[in-house]
Amino acid sequence: MRNEPFFLKTGVARKALCVLAVLVFHLSFFVPAQAQVKTRGIDVSKFQGIINWTKVAKDKTVKFVYIKATEGTSIQDPYYKTNVAKARKAGLLVGSYHLYSSKTTAYQQFANFKKMVKKSEQDLIPVLDIEGHHVGRLNMARVDKLLELMEKEYGVKPMIYTSERLYREHLSGKKYRKYHIFIANYRGYPRARFTLWQYTETGHISGIKGYVDISKFDRNHSLSDIRMPKKKKDAAPATSAAPSSGTATTPPSGTATTPPDTVGEK
């Protein structure tokens, strides 16, 4: 047994150490939430390249991942299927997101997403990603239709990813209160209502080369809020055909489509 250090043999020293321990305990409650987070999520796309999902899963704070599936009418992420399969195999909960385009219809975009994203492979509710550059020119009728089609197909309201400014201008009304909101804000705690907060776009996770977006939950929400509902009865599949109007929504095979909006692509 080691001898007690000399400075601890005095009552004053003992009391000083006790006071210090109490201060450390109380100060721990003021550590920024980011440092105390127990459940984090990431979102990835082709820009992260080949990911070592086994290494990613070893970070016990990383519980889930949103993987880019599609964008606009024609873009499909080349790493999507591999990322979904390997992330789930590693034990992570997986969801998929579609990057909204202002240049193509809701029906065309939904058809692209549905083609790539299988309901049976989804652990988390789908996400419609509406980037901040759409502020001031967002066609809300198109957004609403796309949300509606996604809900019919996957049996749950999608979560909406967006900037805080776009949320305030387009999505803060009562109409969208039933949707989970995924806010991107890299400068500080969001003032908007949110379920998930993407607090950095320059995160580092073992198994991923370079930067990766990292998110965490609002204190009143958790993973259970964004899990796909337990299977009861499949919702009626949504149709990808537009209502009869005499105008085709999907161009014939071999016909060039309007290039999707790629500004701010993740």
User: Which one of 71, 129, 131, 153 is the catalytic residue?
Assistant: 131
User: Which one of 43, 123, 218, 265 is the catalytic residue?
Assistant: 43
The rounded distance, in Å, linking the Cα atoms of 171 and 248 is: 30
Going by C-alpha positions, the residue among 229, 228, 198, 232 that lies closest to residue 215 is 198
The reply to whether 59 belongs to the active site is: no
Measured in degrees and rounded to the nearest 5, phi and psi for residue 186 equal -100, 5
From the centroid of its chain, how far is CA 214?
A: 9
Contacts of 147 (CB under 8 A, 6+ apart): 128, 157, 158, 160, 179
The reply to whether 131 belongs to the active site is: yes
DSSP class of residue 132?
A: G
The rounded distance, in Å, linking the Cα atoms of 208 and 154 is: 29
Cβ pair 68, 97 in contact under 8 A: yes
The rounded distance, in Å, linking the Cα atoms of 153 and 235 is: 7
SS3 91: coil
Q: In angstroms, what is the C-alpha Rg of the chain? A: 23
Catalytic residue annotation:
43, 131
